[in-house]
Structure 1
């Protein structure tokens, strides 16, 4: 029997680090400001570095919740004159935050109707339950697809009970850990496929637009993100299913007929996804055809939310009510806003230009080696820090790095923001990992072994696909 992990010891170490980080954050910020200002850096630049250092320490060690830390830029930047209050407020009400909020509400409507569970079972059946291995493949692709459109955490919470119900009557123990891990890992990978699949994706889009002056559209993202998902998921299935030869068939739960609410929610969601994808392409997209140059993805999402709140569900209610809609993760929106405010401070204070100048020596390194170092480093960081916080901290720096070596910022930023969601080794790396670990079917040692290999696979996949796409 495998010994139960000693969670108390890990919790004690984490608690000690958090108690240390609470005063260390402002102390580090004060020291950074004094050193930089003493060496001739401008006030705004020194404040930006100091505040970023404070936020980084608190986001990584979490003495307080991440959204609480994200309130610091809202308070400090106007207080110390780096940005005015209007500029900072615009960061927290950015159109990409509205898009993310609208996406969260759309996913709530899917969950409320039960359409997401039916879609998952339909996709699993498409792969067949003829063997344990085919069941694993079905769960991986169903989870990955759903996670492209709703949050990784919600996808994991949807798929896990279905898997556990199947495993209750499944005698072959070889399938248990791989199936549970496949759900957690595929949820993280599926989130790489679309801009709304994971909050860090939108951090990239905002910083890229601010750095280059060019918008990065929904279709632009999917042109690279979907191939990454389609390449990564089969490799994951091959690795996790390597020992399942001869595993017997499984009994899948019945899903019954589609309800009116499920059909209507899926129709709204399909139209919304199509509107996102084809807003600007091809040939200017529907926004050009209809003479609506100001149309954006946030407008599409919010119109869809209003439609869901109006359309009847066939049972005397609506497809979405406000009580359900307001149960979105508001903390993620605040965290995203803090990142946008810091990125704006990087630009306005001149810190981005200073970082680019300081990193100009990197242009002597081979580009593939530099890309490999960035992606590998971000994957390691993502094992201990949240993916959104990692993206918030690194996107402005990587944009400056790309300018220093005279390449498209997307070459460094895009694979790095994807790598922020590729943390498979530790239960604390992502919410899906923690949920899988909490199921009791996977121990930390098994997750470490399986996840280490998939981390390496992720580094290779991201480097190869993004290098071919951007060079």
Structure 2
């Protein structure tokens, strides 16, 4: 499962190297039009789509400067208080959408892949890429729509025009380069293979999500993206690959080791016995208590560290109550990625809060979160 995430990181970095993610974002923003609430929705949609395959932090780093440019274009005339309200909604919408988009896929954020690895290794429950998307995409869509409605309720009265700036930025990218077309093809084929993996495995049993990710990632080093004189420039080089967040992969491996130690030492069984009284509660109340606890903790700790520590404990509690472990572990995993209130909760929140606090009071972030 670590190699699945490594492959996802390499695909995301390759998209960034060839500016494919920027082209996707700008085309989405131009398509939604100039109306302020639709602009915020377009930014959130583009951010979430990119966040499905690119790290949440990198997505926010790319989208926030574009958002600031749009704010400048739309707030040149009119009421200053209305300008601040729009700026806060747009910047926080980008920060929140970066985290929400990561919920959609197994490679979108580390807790998702950590859950899949834990369930497979300790409970023989297989959660594939396509299976997770059947859960993640509906959840992320509902969350995205609610956050958009919450941030834009009441509308905005602005007079500026951002379409000219967006079209100018898109024009700077020029026509689709061979590199962009080829990474789009590789990413599209990988996504198709992930979704159809259960069918493919009926014919070739060795094919799983990890193999698909690594084949796609390795192909990036073999497919040329352009020619620089007589020299071929490949889609991926080692300088770009070195930007992989190796620390997250180490934390990921440590989380799996922690889960194995909790099971091997009997701690999981001991915790399960200590929670026998929880069985008297209704399943909905148990899920609510678990998700609330993790949601509070993830506001002040990394979502990966929170998931690594609590997924094995939640799994042990589920087994002790005769509940399928995935019924508690999946809500717990999603809750670990729902850190929207505190600026320190996630890197996108921190990045967004810097821009928000530069224009308005910091409580403007805490309230929507």
TM-score by length of 2: 0.91
Give the counterpart of 2:323 among 388, 392, 407.
407
CA contact (8 A) 1:362 1:404 kept: no
The within-5 A match list for 1:212-227 is 212-227=123-138
How far, CA to CA, are the matches of 1:199 and 1:247 in structure 2? Answer: 39
Are positions 1:449 and 2:367 aligned together?
Answer: yes
CA contact (8 A) 2:179 2:226 kept: yes
The within-5 A match list for 1:39-50 is none
- Name the CA shift for 1:442/1:386 in 2 (closer, same or farther; >3 Å): farther
CA contact (8 A) 1:135 1:250 kept: no
Partner of 2:193: 275
- Name the CA shift for 1:233/1:250 in 2 (closer, same or farther; >3 Å): farther
Q: After TM superposition, give the deviation of residue 298 of structure 1 in Å.
A: 1.8
How far, CA to CA, are the matches of 2:216 and 2:315 in structure 1? Answer: 33
Runs of at least 5 residues in structure 1 that lack an aligned partner in the other structure? 1-95, 452-471
Give the counterpart of 1:190 among 87, 101, 106.
101
Partner of 2:348: 432
Give the counterpart of 1:288 among 196, 202, 210.
202
Are positions 1:339 and 2:255 aligned together?
Answer: yes
Structure 1, residues 416-451: CA drift from partner, whole Å, max 9, x if none? 111111111111000000111122345421111110
The within-5 A match list for 1:105-116 is 105-116=10-21
Partner of 2:30: 125
How far, CA to CA, are the matches of 1:443 and 1:184 in structure 2? Answer: 17
CA contact (8 A) 1:174 1:243 kept: no
How far, CA to CA, are the matches of 2:200 and 2:159 in structure 1? Answer: 49
- Name the CA shift for 1:442/1:144 in 2 (closer, same or farther; >3 Å): farther
Q: After TM superposition, give the deviation of residue 165 of structure 1 in Å.
A: 1.5
CA contact (8 A) 2:200 2:207 kept: no
Are positions 1:235 and 2:146 aligned together?
Answer: yes
Are positions 1:166 and 2:70 aligned together?
Answer: yes
The within-5 A match list for 1:13-28 is none
CA contact (8 A) 1:105 1:305 kept: yes
- Name the CA shift for 1:441/1:335 in 2 (closer, same or farther; >3 Å): farther
The secondary structure found in structure 2 opposite 1:220 is helix
CA contact (8 A) 2:11 2:187 kept: yes
Structure 1, residues 366-420: CA drift from partner, whole Å, max 9, x if none? 1111111111111111100100000000001000111122111111110111111
Are positions 1:259 and 2:177 aligned together?
Answer: yes
How far, CA to CA, are the matches of 2:59 and 2:234 in structure 1? Answer: 23
The secondary structure found in structure 2 opposite 1:313 is strand
Are positions 1:206 and 2:206 aligned together?
Answer: no
CA contact (8 A) 1:123 1:138 kept: yes
The secondary structure found in structure 2 opposite 1:191 is helix
Runs of at least 5 residues in structure 2 that lack an aligned partner in the other structure? 76-82
- Name the CA shift for 1:363/1:217 in 2 (closer, same or farther; >3 Å): same
CA contact (8 A) 2:11 2:53 kept: no
How far, CA to CA, are the matches of 1:441 and 1:105 in structure 2? Answer: 35
How far, CA to CA, are the matches of 1:268 and 1:441 in structure 2? Answer: 41
Q: After TM superposition, give the deviation of residue 169 of structure 1 in Å.
A: 2.2
The secondary structure found in structure 2 opposite 1:310 is coil
Partner of 1:305: 217
Q: After TM superposition, give the deviation of residue 146 of structure 1 in Å.
A: 1.1
TM-score by length of 1: 0.72
How far, CA to CA, are the matches of 2:294 and 2:161 in structure 1? Answer: 38
CA contact (8 A) 1:211 1:399 kept: no
How far, CA to CA, are the matches of 2:56 and 2:310 in structure 1? Answer: 21
Q: CA RMSD in A?
A: 1.4
The structure whose RCO (Cα within 8 Å, separation 6+) is larger is 2
How far, CA to CA, are the matches of 2:15 and 2:360 in structure 1? Answer: 29
How far, CA to CA, are the matches of 1:128 and 1:167 in structure 2? Answer: 14
Partner of 1:92: none
The within-5 A match list for 1:68-79 is none
Q: Between Structure 1 and Structure 2, whose CA radius of gyration is higher?
A: 1
Partner of 1:134: 38
